[in-house]
């Protein structure tokens, strides 16, 4: 598989992504976007080598490089908004396992497009690089990022927050931001360690949050927040240690930010219908979009939305113009302090219809479209309205299903929601009967059909 994905460059360090290739990526980026380039990196063990290679590549193609140091990804977005530069990159693989690394980059205000990624890959393959030399300077952006947050947030109530950085890039930053805002903080896994020994760097996998849950209960925190490896995602836990479904967190933000100021809200199309319903209740315009950081962000910016969110834990704020896990966590603390309610009570008041997790089924690449076509035909026969924002989505009066093909693995992914458990099983059964016998049988086993 190519390391040039839809939204960034990513691969297994040493096998798919090497220092040599990262150097060439740096030269390609400087060729595409001559001028000043901001560069940071996360805490992965391979990041220092790859970041050095990226910087050398940028310099050798004439860029004025500003080294931001070791930072969470939102600090790069902050630097791009407040610094004198039109392009930036950070070496990170975000929430992926520790053996991965990559390069997230931005040129201008808009997210990376597939066309821009293909253009970068073409420049790198041809070696059609601009000449150097460049200039290297440094900026301690973390200090300015923390100062910005300290001016923006002041605790309406001195809550107790459990901060779990997962040994990632938010470790040295998030606890200080909460303390400067007036909160009491208990730290968990806040010492950076690019091997991520304490838990998965993907907190959206709630199964990895056992220690986080225990810590919330043990220290008596009002709520907990778990960040991903590079700090652009956040997952919340209530005061009992129970993870709060990301759609419910998004609904709470919708109710806070749209009160008296209805605007569009963008969300990924596999989100629970409670998100759409909450936006409508607040007078806003719900805008479903295909999953993926670049797709959500582009729609968010194009529509001047106050808010956007993904099931994975990305939260975008119109106030910022980008996503920031720490800004989301501080907003949640502000929301709880203003309401005086417990997070468990607020979450319990948001009732999601029965919904499946992402169900992944093995399917060779050359058969994936055929499977989607079979599901679409079955859904049409059953009276569904069909859309193709990403894969096949079938909407029924009492629920919906979404099947998407993977570009990174031999599998398709199914998610479905319905008004009742019986109706949800009926939707899964519809898909099971449409698929080849082996896949249908495995899907039927999942639902008990």
Q: Is 430 helix (H, G, I), strand (E, B) or coil?
A: helix
CA distances (Å), 61 to each of 28, 51, 340, in order? 8, 16, 55
Dist CA 386 CA 388 (whole Å): 7
Catalytic (active site) residue 388: no
Element counts in the chain: helices (H) and strands (E): 15, 21
Secondary structure of 216-271 as H, E, C letters: HHHHCCCEEEEECCCCCEEEEECCCCCEECHHHHHHHHHHHHCCCCCCEEEEECCC
35 and 64 Cβ atoms separated by less than 8 Å: yes
Q: How many Cβ atoms sit within 10 Å of the Cβ of residue 109? A: 12
Task: Let me know if 10 is a catalytic residue.
Answer: yes
Tokens of 263: 């605007």
Is 81 within 8 Å of 188 (Cβ atoms)?
Answer: no
Q: Which of 94, 189, 200, 447 is catalytic?
A: 94
Give me 432's structure tokens. Answer: 């099971």
Q: What is the distance between the alpha carbons of residues 45 and 14, in angstroms, rounded to a whole number?
A: 12
How far is the C-alpha of 178 from the C-alpha of 11, rounded, in Å? Answer: 33
Q: What are the φ and ψ backbone dihedral angles of 40, each rounded to 5 degrees?
A: -135, -175
Taking the C-alpha atoms of residue 244 and residue 423, their distance in angstroms, rounded to an integer, is 25
Q: Which of 432, 387, 110, 114 is nearest to 269 (CA)?
A: 387
- Catalytic residue, candidates 314, 393, 415, 425: 314
Which residues, at least 6 apart from 96, have a Cβ–Cβ distance to it below 8 Å?
A: 10, 102, 201, 202, 229
For residue 156, the 8-state DSSP code is S
Question: Catalytic site residue 425?
Answer: no
Catalytic residue numbers? Answer: 10, 94, 314
């Amino acid at each position: 598989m190519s390391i040039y994905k839809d939204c960034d460059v990513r691969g297994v360090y040493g096998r798919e992504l090497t220092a040599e290739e990262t150097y060439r990526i740096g030269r390609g980026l400087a060729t595409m976007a001559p001028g000043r380039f901001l560069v940071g990196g996360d805490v992965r063990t391979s990041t220092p080598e790859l970041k050095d290679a990226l910087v050398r590549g940028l310099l050798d193609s004439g860029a004025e490089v500003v080294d931001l140091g070791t930072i969470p990804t939102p600090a790069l977005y902050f630097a791009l908004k407040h610094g004198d530069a039109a392009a930036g990159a950070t070496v990170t693989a975000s929430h992926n396992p520790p053996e991965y690394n990559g390069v997230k980059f931005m040129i201008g205000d808009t997210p990376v497009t597939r066309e821009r990624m293909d253009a970068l890959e073409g420049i790198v393959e041809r070696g059609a690089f601009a000449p150097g030399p460049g200039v290297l300077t440094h900026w301690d952006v973390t200090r300015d990022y923390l100062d910005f947050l300290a001016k923006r947030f002041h605790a309406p109530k001195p809550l107790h927050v459990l901060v779990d950085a997962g040994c990632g890039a938010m470790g040295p930053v998030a606890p200080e931001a909460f303390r400067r805002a007036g909160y009491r903080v208990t730290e968990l896994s806040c010492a950076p360690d690019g091997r991520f020994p304490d838990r998965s760097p993907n907190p959206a996998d709630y199964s990895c949050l056992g220690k986080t849950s225990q810590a919330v209960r043990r220290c008596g925190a009002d709520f907990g927040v778990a960040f991903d490896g590079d700090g652009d995602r956040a997952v919340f836990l209530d005061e009992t240690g129970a993870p709060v479904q990301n759609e419910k967190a998004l609904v709470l933000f919708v109710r806070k930010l749209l009160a008296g100021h209805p605007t569009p809200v963008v969300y990924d199309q596999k989100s629970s219908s409670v998100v759409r319903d909450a936006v409508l209740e607040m007078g806003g315009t719900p805008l479903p979009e295909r999953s993926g950081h670049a797709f959500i962000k582009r729609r968010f910016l194009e529509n001047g939305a106050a808010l956007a969110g993904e099931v994975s834990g990305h939260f975008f704020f119109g106030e910022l113009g980008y996503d920031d896990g720490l800004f989301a966590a501080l907003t949640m603390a502000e929301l709880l302090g203003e309401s005086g309610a417990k997070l468990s009570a607020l979450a319990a008041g948001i009732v999601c219809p029965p919904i499946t997790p992402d169900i992944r089924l093995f399917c060779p690449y050359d058969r994936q479209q055929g499977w989607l076509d079979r599901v679409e035909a079955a859904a049409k026969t059953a009276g569904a309205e069909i859309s193709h924002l990403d894969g096949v989505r079938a909407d029924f009066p009492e629920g919906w299903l979404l099947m998407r093909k993977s570009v990174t693995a031999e599998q398709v992914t199914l998610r479905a929601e319905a008004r009742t458990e019986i109706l949800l099983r009926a939707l899964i059964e519809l898909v099971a009967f449409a698929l080849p016998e082996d896949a249908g049988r495995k899907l039927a086993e999942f639902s008990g059909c």
